[in-house]
Amino acid sequence: MADTLGFSLTGADIKKRSDKIKVGVDTAPGRSLLYATGQVKNEDDMKKPFIAICNSYIEIVPGHIHLRMLADIAKKAIREAGGIPFEFNTIGVDDGIAMGHVGMRYSLPSREVIADAAETVIQAHWFDGVLFMPNCDKITPGMLMAAARTNVPSVFVSGGPMRAGVDPNGNATTLSTMFEAVGAFKSGKLSKEDLLEYEQNACPGCGSCAGMFTANSMNSLMEALGVALPYNGTALADTEERKELVRKAAKQVMYVVKHNIRPRDLMTKEAFDDAYALDMAMGGSTNTVLHGLAIAHEAGVPYSEEDINEISKKTPYVAKIAPSSHWTMQDVHAAGGIPVILNELIQKGGILHPDRMTVTGKTIRENVAGCETKNPEIIHTVENAYSQQGGLSILHGNIAPDGAVIKVGGVDKDIHKFVGKAICFDSHDDAVNGIDSGKVQPGHVVVIRYEGPKGGPGMPEMLNPTSSIVGRGLGREVGLITDGRFSGATRGIAVGHISPEAADGGNIALIKDGDTITIDLTNRSMMLDVSDEELAERRTHLKKFEPKVKTGYLARYQALVTSANTGGVMKGYDELFADK
């Protein structure tokens, strides 16, 4: 037999993947090192499946501070189920802490480091199975990419969502509330005392931020992909329920190892269709577009933004969650969680492929059978959906020939078209200064460019400018377009992922102050009211992009990264040497 990456597993005695490092006289030195770890006690242990725990524990990320404890629960469960656990760690970046400065340049690139690191440990040590333990931001998709790439039997269990905070008026708060509070404070609408109150209470403890931001979007989508157990997306981080979910997931790794259920068996075209259907039904983060495409690429599944748009057109929007409403993840869990949304789509939507197998050994239909909403205000029925189309849209037009992304669920429902005059900024920081100084006025479309995968580099999030716009009360009167991306906490008339990006000579680089821009949500289009002839003339004066970073990881990333519409994946051998 052969491993997914092409390495041969040979030898008459090999029955398990890990036998490569522990069977035969030639592996005796390696066995001595395995005994030295203390995880392997005797010859009987040496015969058991070796299970990796890929843990993203890191103390500066609140979504991950409890994962060290959860990993110990997982280890015990794996041993009880007959396996030998070996824990290793990946890096992690907290987008909220990294926001608005050079740290954000490392956020999306960290996804590739995580995927590469997990691949390295899994392949170097020939594990039989893997329990992946991510939670926040780029860490979940990075691990999913590694799982698809290595194709070793795996189960995912995330750390779970944070509880909502409480504002001075007793209302639920999330991280997006905090960013918008900064905008309100800068414009004189919020006192210093109230800002401090928000700051100290918006994020009350461990877990991924409490709204349907990128982390919770991805952790929920894993239920639809079939790689995580039910309630993975919503069971709160600091509960016994989450601990029990970890125990079950750890033991389930032994099941998928025994039955050789591998990630690519589950990550099919239909699985990605269903994951995006869930995404549309709950108005997930725009970052899911980037990450889903990247994961599909690693799984060898052809998938595009056009596929996503087709799913959006036929999927009802049944759960509007913060930042698009005041409902948080704990509210969604109390209403029945992701299984309710999936069952609603199966029973009445006719959208999913419900008979796909999952890591539970059961189908999606079996996993969610009988799950009905406990609160129809939070999880609507299909008949009472917010919209009969999904919460995300892919826009095309002369500004974004290869596509752009907007969270339509985060736009006020009576806004179907926005027409405004361009006000252009060539960086995130210049845009923030322009908004804070009052240069940006009602009727403007803020253009932030040279912040894409290459241009940023790293495609930083634009949460500060979008939050400042909303916090100043301009969310209905100012649009924003960018070749950068957004936090899941972004709401308003905000279009990101514009492709091609400015650094690649995309038309967004040709926009001038005062140009008319039309964002048409009904027709899924975004147009610059400038003729092709005029754009061609402007292109003759366009300066060649000069990379901002010349050394270190970001320089290498900048040289290898592809466009947002391809998921921002790194170029492979065929692309690097296509012309040679």
Active centre residues (catalytic): 487
Give the burial class of 79: count Cβ atoms within 10 A of its Cβ; 0-12 exposed, 13-18 middle, 19 or more buried: middle
Q: Where are the beta strands (DSSP E) in 280-331?
A: none
Task: Please tell me the distance from the alpha carbon of residue 84 to that of residue 1, in angstroms, as a whole number.
Answer: 23
Element (H, E) at 538: helix 532-539
From the list 91, 88, 89, the residue with the least C-alpha distance to 107 is: 91
User: Is 241 marked within a binding site?
Assistant: no
Cβ 479 vs Cβ 468: under 8 Å: no
Task: Please tell me the distance from the alpha carbon of residue 391 to that of residue 409, in angstroms, as a whole number.
Answer: 4
Task: Please tell me the distance from the alpha carbon of residue 280 to that of residue 270, in angstroms, as a whole number.
Answer: 15
User: Is 579 marked within a binding site?
Assistant: no
Task: Please tell me the distance from the alpha carbon of residue 9 to that of residue 464, in angstroms, as a whole number.
Answer: 50
Structure tokens at 498: 């514009």
Structure tokens at 38: 């203390």
Q: Is the peptide bond before 457 cis (omega within 30 degrees of 0)?
A: yes
Task: Please tell me the distance from the alpha carbon of residue 289 to that of residue 285, in angstroms, as a whole number.
Answer: 8
> What is the residue type of 552?
G
Per DSSP, 566 falls in state G
Radius of gyration of the chain, Cα coordinates, nearest whole angstrom = 24
Cβ 291 vs Cβ 567: under 8 Å: yes
Cβ 166 vs Cβ 201: under 8 Å: yes
Cβ 226 vs Cβ 361: under 8 Å: no
Task: Please tell me the distance from the alpha carbon of residue 404 to that of residue 493, in angstroms, as a whole number.
Answer: 13
Taking residue 110's Cβ as centre, other Cβ atoms within 10 Å add up to: 22
Span between the terminal Cα atoms of the chain, in Å: 33
Structure tokens at 336: 């029945």
Per DSSP, 25 falls in state G
**Partner residues linked to 473 by β-bridges:** none
User: Is 414 marked within a binding site?
Assistant: no
User: Could you give the C-alpha distances from 94 to 61, 182, 564, in angstroms and in order?
Assistant: 5, 19, 21
User: Is 269 marked within a binding site?
Assistant: no
Per DSSP, 492 falls in state S
Please state the φ and ψ torsions of residue 233, each to the nearest 5 degrees: -75, -20
What one-character-per-residue DSSP string does 419-435 give?
Answer: EEEEEEESSHHHHHHHH
- List the binding residues: 95, 137-138, 461
Residue set of the binding site for Mg(2+): 95, 137-138, 461
